[in-house]
Structure 1
Amino acid sequence: MAVWSLVPLAYFLGSLSSAVIVSRLFRLPDPRELGSKNPGATNVLRLGGKKAAAITLLGDVAKGVVPLMMAKLLDTDVSVVALVGLAAFFGHLYPVFFNFKGGKGVATALGVLSGFSWMVGVATLLTWIAVAFVSRISSLAALVASVLAPFYVWFFTDSEMLVGASIVMSLFLIWRHRGNIERLLQGQEARIGRKA
């Protein structure tokens, strides 16, 4: 029973919006109201600079990693690990503490994937970095990384449950980026570091 309590715990942890909390601590504008209006590290970078964005990013990644580390320490079944990861991810997307209006889930998904396997996390992060370096577009990097992530999970873990969980996350990441996809097709998507 204690093992299954990790699922709601992961959701509640995921529901803590790092972007909103960090913005309040740094006395920055609410990221849900300015810039892209997305409570994520990229928007915090535009609104408040690198330090606030870095803390936001670490907080969002930690929300994915920590619950999975706890699940693995308890030597839980892989199905529980997959559910814990999804719970943390959906907590970020639909946070109970912030009227179920959360971010797009990129950093938290990276944390979850890293919790599945550190090698998956590294491969996904390197994909994001490579695409972002070339294009200077965060959303494009996130989309490419999210599409490739299930293949990395399959290659490094060979677990159907974890692959299934990563596919669910990828589909939601793509859905949450539908506005970005529109702007990308129109050549109007903002580049990394551009001020709001």
Structure 2
Amino acid sequence: MGSCIYLTFGNIIAILLGYLLGSINPSFILGKVIKGIDLRNYGSKNPGTMNAIHIIGGKWAIIPAIYDPLKGIISIYIAQSLGATTFFAYAAGISALIGHCFPFYLKFKGGEGVATAVGILLWGIYIMVRHSYLPYIDILLLIPFTLSILYVSKSGDITGAFILPFLIFAFLSTNPLKSATILTSIVILFILSRNLIHIYQNNLLNFKEISHKIQPWRFWLRPVSLLFIVFYEIFSKQFVVILMGSVALIFLIMDTVRMLNKGVNMFLLKNFILGFKRKEKHKFSSMTIFLISGTVIFLLFSREIAFTVLVFLIFGDMLAKYFGLRYGRHRFFRKSIEGFLMYFTSCIAIGIVLMKFLPINIYEIALVSFTMSIIEILPLG
């Protein structure tokens, strides 16, 4: 009974200490001490590290840049030292996050908490990998994708929006019922929500800038091709080969007729609902090539390879196209190095998901990803 009371008391103290540590806002304090101002009234009006850099100065912002990510980790460590259970230790870290966002002495108007949440997330990843709750290979596969998005987009919010869903999947698909898994996933969702809010507010994923270079219908229709995988599982390989081959034949005939007849060609270029690209006026469309390639892949290769290649064709191409057109700075043939990086590393990251459902290993994922990325960037069409 006594030990139970002590454990409960220790857990409560850990959570309260977490909140108090989190509520200490060095950016706000430095603003008052150095400049005599309330950071919440200047710049982005957020008492966080980035606003401190712009308003107070970089050398002083080092303090919040170090403390903000560590306050959640320190809270977890103190909680563990007090004998708190795993659940309550992580709860203390989240309490520090709450304290950062809603400090009592600032009328509950604090920082956004992303840096603190990222610190808790990194600690959670370390603990779960260390105790084999999370395969280290999943994290290794995400590193190239993370660095590529950050390099190409120069945006932490865009990087988080693409990377964090993969992390949640990796956590929940490995040990869904662990306290550390559930609470770290909550932290990830918090960071992701902040990322998405910033993306929306600042219009960071602006498709209008590239809409004149792509056919929007064709771009967003690509994921519908996943139905071929569904049909494979429900019916058979033969059914998918016949179905996909038939659709490919229709597009092939359409392409052939329009290239042989100028009038038909101009009519389809202007009026076909899915839209041909102007640059495809005198050559086969990418839709035709995609469907023929898919048919051949399903016909010749095993289930796991066919599924992998199709998924890479869909999502690797979409990400390469968007990021290459929007952020491409270094041209290579008619493509960009940025598009190549996004194709290759996104396929590697998607491999995290595929390896949970298909008997395919990291070496096969890497080989298929690299081969398809090379084919994508070469001027073959």
**For this structure pair, what is the TM-score category when the shorter chain's length is used for normalisation?**
0.7 to 0.9
Q: TM-score, normalised by structure 2?
A: 0.42
Gapped runs of 5+ residues in structure 2?
1-8, 129-140, 207-381
1:100: how far off?
0.8
Counterpart residue identity of residue 71, structure 2: K
> Is residue 2:203 matched to residue 1:184?
yes
Q: How do 1:2-81 residues align onto structure 2 when only pairs under 5 Å count?
A: 2-27=10-35, 29-81=37-89
Q: How do 1:1-196 residues align onto structure 2 when only pairs under 5 Å count?
A: 1-27=9-35, 29-118=37-126, 131-144=149-162, 146-151=164-169, 160-177=178-195, 178-185=197-204
Q: Does the 8 A contact of 2:11 with 2:85 survive in 1?
A: no
CA gap 1:82/1:119 in 2 versus in 1, 3 angstroms: closer
Q: Over aligned residues, Cα RMSD in angstroms?
A: 3.4
Between 87-96 and 160-169, the greater mean CA deviation after superposition: 160-169
Structure with more contact order per residue of length (Cα contacts < 8 Å, sep ≥ 6): 1
1:18: how far off?
2.1
Identity, in percent, stands at 25
Of structures 1 and 2, the larger Rg is shown by 2
Which structure has the highest helix share of the two?
2
1:36: how far off?
1.2
CA gap 1:13/1:152 in 2 versus in 1, 3 angstroms: farther
Q: Does the 8 A contact of 2:20 with 2:96 survive in 1?
A: yes
Counterparts of 1:185 and 1:90, CA distance in 2: 27
Counterparts of 2:68 and 2:58, CA distance in 1: 15
CA gap 1:186/1:152 in 2 versus in 1, 3 angstroms: closer
Q: Does the 8 A contact of 1:117 with 1:156 survive in 2?
A: no
1:145: how far off?
5.6
- Between the two proteins, the alignment pairs up a number of residues equal to 187
1:131: how far off?
4.5
CA gap 1:186/1:149 in 2 versus in 1, 3 angstroms: closer
Counterparts of 1:78 and 1:176, CA distance in 2: 26
Counterpart residue identity of residue 19, structure 1: S
CA gap 1:105/1:130 in 2 versus in 1, 3 angstroms: farther
1:185: how far off?
3.9
Q: Does the 8 A contact of 1:45 with 1:53 survive in 2?
A: yes
CA gap 1:102/1:24 in 2 versus in 1, 3 angstroms: same
Q: TM-score, normalised by structure 1?
A: 0.74
